[in-house]
A and B are shown apart, each in its own frame.
Chain A
Amino acid sequence: MRPGSGREASIAAAVVAGLLGPGVFLARQAGAAGEPAAAAAFASIVPVLRHPRCMNCHSSGDFPRQGDDSHPHAMDVRRGPGGHGVTAQKCETCHQDHNLDGRNMPPGAPDWHLPPPSTPMVWRGLTDRQLCELLKDRRQNGNRSVDQIVEHMATPLVLWGWQPGEGRTPVPVSEAQFTAKVKEWAAQGAACPAR
């Protein structure tokens, strides 16, 4: 059998898919046929991604934002060299690993931080397709595979968006539905919307 023949390629694809796990295997299986379903699944999670609870840290500029109006973070808080703030103004200077009771008290979740400056993951101004492509771009997403993006979407920091503490609007779409749609997007090949 010559290298590159159809049978060899399909065996190799199956081996690679097996090594990468069930999500990727499903993705490989879905192929082009899964594209509309994946794009639709992604479109259904976009309202969450575009919500201030997510966008305030996937922020334009070199700083986080606050509030439902996404104003720049008080105290001129900066992103810092690792996404954790600078010197005496790091995220964990004020933020705990949990929300504090009371209106206008600092919110919190484990590992509270922004994306680092090398991969700032700025989402503002992107179309749905651009947002989807940015999420999948390993040069810009912290070298995450699609399966690792799915994992990121289930971290306590992301899930905080559904329980953001008093005075903050939670993200739309139920957590269960969001999680299911993220997994469906990955399983169907992680295709992006047309626009």
Chain B
Amino acid sequence: MISLIVNKRRVDLDVDPSTPLLWVLRDNLGLNGTKYGCGMAQCGACTVHVDGQAVRSCVAPVSRAAGREITTIEGLSPDLSHPLQRAWIEVDVPQCGYCQSGQIMSAAVLLKEKPKPTDEDIDQALTGNICRCGTYPRIRRAVHRAAELAAEGGRP
């Protein structure tokens, strides 16, 4: 039995400890916002937070997350009020949308550590998150906008 705290809710799971965290989130807990992209930590689509740090859930065994706080895109805010979610909607970032939860979860770690990121900070934080639609210019613009919204609203 493995205990996790997912989006502030404790869950106890009877799963193989080597199961990738991604499949526990999607198949066992029904949190389908986190996507499967490459399965080898190359694309970033599966990014979630483990104790506030970005982690590629497709390669992290669930045992790594035992007893720790996991946040998925569903847990970023209960009502789309997170500055990144607001900025993403305002800038209309997604095209196909498949990579976007990973992009946003990586950006959330960036803003927590660097509330006023430069273009270079954004590039360094998100260069491991691939967008096949090429929405990078809008992603960068939205991260800057989220930083402004967070400064206005005091969050995150």
Contacts and interface: CB of A to CB of B under 8 A. Distances in A.
Contacts of B37: none
Given A94-B59, A105-B59, A106-B41, A89 B53 contact: no
Interface of B: 40-42, 47, 53-56, 59-61, 64, 105-107, 109-110, 113-114, 121, 123-129
Give the interface SS of chain B, mostly helix, strand, loop or mixed: mixed
A87 B121 contact: yes
A87 B124 contact: yes
A100 B59 contact: yes
B61 A86 contact: no
Given A88-B109, A94-B56, A106 B126 contact: no
B47 A105 contact: no
A78 interface: yes
A76 B124 contact: yes
Interface residues of A, number: 20
A104 B40 contact: yes
Contacts of B114: 87
Interface of A: 74-78, 86-90, 92-94, 96-97, 100, 102, 104-106
B143 to A, nearest CB: 11
B40 A93 contact: no
